Amino acid sequence: MESAGARCSSGGSCDPDVVCEKRLFKAKLPEPLVQLACSHHHCAFPVNGNELCIWNTATAQSLFLSGHHYSISALSFGSNINPPLVCSASHERVIVWNLDECTQKVQEGFTPHGIVIRTLLGMVLHVRFSPDDQQVAVCAGNRIYMLSAKNETILAKLDGHLAPVTAAEFCTWEKSMLISVSEDRTFKVWDYSTGQLIYQSGIITAAFPLLSLLIDEENKQLVTGCAEGQLWIFSLISDHNYRCVTHINLKKEQEKFCNKVWKSGKEIGEGQNDSKVCKTDNMRPEGSVETSLPVLLIEHCDFSVCFRNEEKMYSALNTSYFWIGTSTGLLIINLANFELEAFLSYKDYSDLSIRFARSCALTKKTVNGKVLCLITSMFEDMIAVLEVNLATLVRTQNNVFLPCGNESSLSVIARCSLLTNSPLLKGLKKNRKEPSSKTFGVKSTVKDKPLVFHNKIKSSGYTAAPRKTMFSPNTNLNKKEVSKWKTSCKCKSKEYPLDGDPPIKYEKQISVTCKPTPIFCIQYSGDGEMLACGLADKTVLIFNSNLTDTYNVFSGHDGAVNSVGWSHNKKWLVSASEDRTLRVWSVCNKEPALIMGKENFDKTVRFAQFYFLDTFILLCCGAEFHLLNFHLDTTKDDLKRYKQKSVFKLVQKFPMASTVEITSLSAVNDFYSYIVLTAGSNRALEVFDLNAGCSTAVIPEVHTRSVHQIYQNKGSSFSTQQPEAYNLFMTTAAGDGIKLWDLRTLRCERRFEGHSSRCYPCGIAVSPCGRFIASGSDDKYAYIYEMRSSTFLHKLGRHTESVINVTFSPSSPQLTTATLDGRLQLFLP
């Protein structure tokens, strides 16, 4: 069965610009797994078992150092450039070498010597210098020895692992903190100054040992990998208690990435065969990755070289990338969305001498856009120095996905006038004719009557003296009226604060009905003064913002209310129900202003909203969504009360491709926008341009399950600092977290994990300031995220059932949650 790696990277085998073999060394390698080392100027590896070779990357000269009697098993360069230090460890001794002194000794004709800092520690699998190069952590057997880098002093012994320790890293922002992983499948956090154990994890993997470790300083996270190609990311933020952020299956990510590249290459067609996108045969890829992917190395990746002119596209989110070194190749992982960006398979480049690696090392920073990779052969006594062109590698496989910076990219904000054949223009033209009653075919029922019915008519005032003052202010207002007037003015001018803490303080809880009733949807009005709720008991409720009073109750649906949506002017509310009807309500009236009955829809109306500044209504029904033009008239006719004066007309239907049902729809109503986003049961997301009247883009497999909700920025506060934020939108699906997308690039920019919603689809919301994200969950908690972090900041409790909906007030920092048993909870900062 063909593997995903063979499918995807076959296109790179004929491109020598991606990777080249700079140097090949043939020497006897030691038997145990070797920790190699690469720095900005040097590569270090053992030759002939116990001899150390330092290869200068600038001069291509080798420096050979002797001092070990047994095979060298671990190597590491110092953290600082001056002086350049390297530590080598074998079964019988650990030596620290000063490369400047060693080079000078060789030039003078003397034999260089290092400082032996310890002897007879046993089998050493890993060594690491402290940030100041004053100490060395040596992983020997089940212990970690903290040694002085200048003499044979043991500063501390860290004992606690039940199997050999495979890697250890220093935490730079925490004084005296060291983290280690072991074959016992756990990681431990130590205070190496006192030798005390701070934290001990549970067993992470089922049967495979942990082999590698990386500490991400920017996001304060721990990344570890095992022998079966699995990655785990844990948060190191002080109050997060080392919780797991996410788990990544490299085999699945590699296959998903290859399928995406394969489909993109197929869409390009034969007319662009010169493209560097991976090319394959016409067979559709099937099967899964069969090759084992032991995570030999995790290293930082300087991904910025891939975006020379596109840095502005990524200025909104600071993203970290890291290399994964495996026995078959190199992979690049995006730490924001936990997805594969590119990978290099050794066997697909015929010029490379090594096809399967036993160990590897990489330089952290690029030189002229290139990184050095040092690998040893699994089956032969060979060591190769590879030069990988990072930008070429990424663009070879990713040029379809990377931002191109052209002006034709999608934008939520309308950037051109309406086209002559636009469905929106047709609807607007019809709407201009509709205010007159004759347009709707309704005859006037008002008969001619006398102008005046009174016996006495008041004088017109022509005989009175003319008024000298046209307008005089009312100065007789009492204090209560003045204070009420001031309060109302303040309420109208409220704006959401851009700075401040998230609303996490429990304020109150109310039950919306006498018995438990699921609240399927909630939404604040644009001014934040009212909250609409759609219930499973067929009613729509409107509360004031502080949940102290019920403003109105709307009844008339014959099924559960699926969605509610406010108009831009806050006067109307649209609701969709399981009864295959849609109703528009006046906020001040209990009777519906417009009813669209079952005869208009073949299937249930899942979602409805106002669109284009209340000009249209969008609704999704089955596998298509409808664009409706409407006119609302609430005046009463005494003779024909049963007949509604409000009318609607279908402008156009838009089918979503290859799906059975549209599961979510979103569009902006607060300003003119042509973009409509839809998600289907086929797990895809489709972008429609209603100005052109067609679909413009499709993102396949947005989540592992059907998208439950699409959330867009629809307010004004979000974009006060960053206008590009309107092009960001979010999606969520049960059991697959939350993803942040950029409409211009159709790329997932960040993924939010950590909450426990696994079965029930729960809602999401973004604060108007754009800093915080709220998510419901089926574990009876609501979760608060910070936009730049992939794990949650706070858990909001005191819920009695699954939290299925959340919403932020657009005018004040408050959060309202809705539960499956019909309770609303209010949270304040």
Average pLDDT over residues 799-806: 94
- Among 112-126, 458-472, 525-539, 637-651, name the one with the lowest average pLDDT: 458-472
The answer to whether the CB of 553 falls within 8 A of the CB of 564 is no
Mean pLDDT over the full length of the chain: 84
Question: Which pLDDT belongs to residue 710?
Answer: 95
Average pLDDT over residues 808-818: 94
Question: 357 in helix, strand or coil?
Answer: strand
HSE-CB at 282 with a 13 A cutoff on CA atoms is 2
Alpha carbon distances (Å) from 293 to 230, 326, 356 = 8, 6, 11
The band of 422, judged by pLDDT with boundaries at 50, 70 and 90, is: very high
The band of 638, judged by pLDDT with boundaries at 50, 70 and 90, is: low
492-543 residue pLDDT tens: 445 667 778 899 999 999 999 999 999 999 999 999 999 999 999 999 999 9
Question: Which pLDDT belongs to residue 491?
Answer: 43
Alpha carbon distances (Å) from 607 to 45, 314, 576, 601, 730 = 62, 32, 6, 13, 17
% of the chain residues with pLDDT over 90: 62
The band of 456, judged by pLDDT with boundaries at 50, 70 and 90, is: low
Question: Which pLDDT belongs to residue 403?
Answer: 41
Question: Which pLDDT belongs to residue 649?
Answer: 94
Question: Which pLDDT belongs to residue 407?
Answer: 40
- Among 68-77, 423-432, 644-653, 703-712, name the one with the lowest average pLDDT: 423-432
Residue 301 has pLDDT above 50, yes or no: yes
CA angle 566, 568, 569 (to 5 degrees): 100
H-only helix segments in 314-454: 390-398, 423-433
Residue 720 has pLDDT above 60, yes or no: no
Q: If you average pLDDT over each of 110-114, 442-446, 487-491, 736-740, which comes out highest?
A: 110-114
Structure tokens at 477: 């207002």
Using a 10 angstrom Cβ sphere, with 0-12 exposed, 13-18 middle and 19 or more buried, the burial of residue 819 is buried
Question: Which pLDDT belongs to residue 758?
Answer: 66
Residue 435 has pLDDT above 60, yes or no: no
**Measured between alpha carbons, how far is 141 from 183 in angstroms, rounded to an integer?**
10
Average pLDDT over residues 753-759: 67
CA angle 495, 500, 506 (to 5 degrees): 95
Question: Which pLDDT belongs to residue 787?
Answer: 87
Q: Hunting for tokens 């986003």 — which residue is that?
A: 677
Structure tokens at 754: 């950590």
- Among 479-488, 516-525, 561-570, name the one with the lowest average pLDDT: 479-488
242-266 residue pLDDT tens: 999 999 999 999 888 888 777 665 5
Average pLDDT over residues 769-791: 90
**Measured between alpha carbons, how far is 67 from 62 in angstroms, rounded to an integer?**
17
| Domains of the chain, earliest start first | 32-254 (2.130.10.10), 505-633+645-828 (2.130.10.10)
Higher pLDDT among residues 251 and 491, named by residue? 251
Average pLDDT over residues 675-683: 95
Residue 5 has pLDDT above 50, yes or no: no
Question: Which pLDDT belongs to residue 688?
Answer: 97
The band of 182, judged by pLDDT with boundaries at 50, 70 and 90, is: very high
Beta strands in 172-285 (DSSP E): 177-182, 187-191, 196-200, 210-216, 221-226, 230-235, 244-249
The answer to whether the CB of 504 falls within 8 A of the CB of 827 is yes
**Measured between alpha carbons, how far is 683 from 659 in angstroms, rounded to an integer?**
9
% of the chain residues with pLDDT over 70: 81
Is the N-terminal amide bond of 83 cis, ω within 30° of 0?
Answer: yes
Residue 476 has pLDDT above 80, yes or no: no
Residue 177 has pLDDT above 80, yes or no: yes
The band of 643, judged by pLDDT with boundaries at 50, 70 and 90, is: confident
**Measured between alpha carbons, how far is 558 from 579 in angstroms, rounded to an integer?**
5
pTM, 2 dp: 0.82
The band of 756, judged by pLDDT with boundaries at 50, 70 and 90, is: low
- Among 157-171, 302-316, 702-716, 740-754, name the one with the lowest average pLDDT: 302-316
The band of 383, judged by pLDDT with boundaries at 50, 70 and 90, is: very high
- Among 133-137, 289-293, 418-422, 823-827, name the one with the lowest average pLDDT: 289-293
The band of 718, judged by pLDDT with boundaries at 50, 70 and 90, is: very low
Question: Which pLDDT belongs to residue 111?
Answer: 93
114-168 residue pLDDT tens: 999 999 999 999 999 999 999 999 999 999 999 999 999 999 999 999 999 999 9
**Measured between alpha carbons, how far is 498 from 728 in angstroms, rounded to an integer?**
18
Alpha carbon distances (Å) from 724 to 174, 233, 314, 752 = 36, 30, 11, 20
Question: Which pLDDT belongs to residue 85?
Answer: 96
Higher pLDDT among residues 398 and 44, named by residue? 44
**606 closest CA partner among 592, 619, 624, 623:** 619
264-285 residue pLDDT tens: 655 544 433 333 334 433 333 4
Structure tokens at 72: 């060298």
Instruction: Give every CB contact of residue 427 below 8 A, 6+ residues apart in sequence.
Output: 615, 616, 627, 629, 651
**Measured between alpha carbons, how far is 251 from 294 in angstroms, rounded to an integer?**
10
**Measured between alpha carbons, how far is 689 from 684 in angstroms, rounded to an integer?**
17
The band of 430, judged by pLDDT with boundaries at 50, 70 and 90, is: low
The band of 708, judged by pLDDT with boundaries at 50, 70 and 90, is: very high
Residue 103 has pLDDT above 80, yes or no: yes
137: left (phi over 0), alpha (psi -120 to 50) or beta: beta
Question: Which pLDDT belongs to residue 62?
Answer: 94
Higher pLDDT among residues 586 and 445, named by residue? 586
Question: Which pLDDT belongs to residue 315?
Answer: 41
Residue 386 has pLDDT above 60, yes or no: yes
**Measured between alpha carbons, how far is 431 from 14 in angstroms, rounded to an integer?**
60
The band of 308, judged by pLDDT with boundaries at 50, 70 and 90, is: low
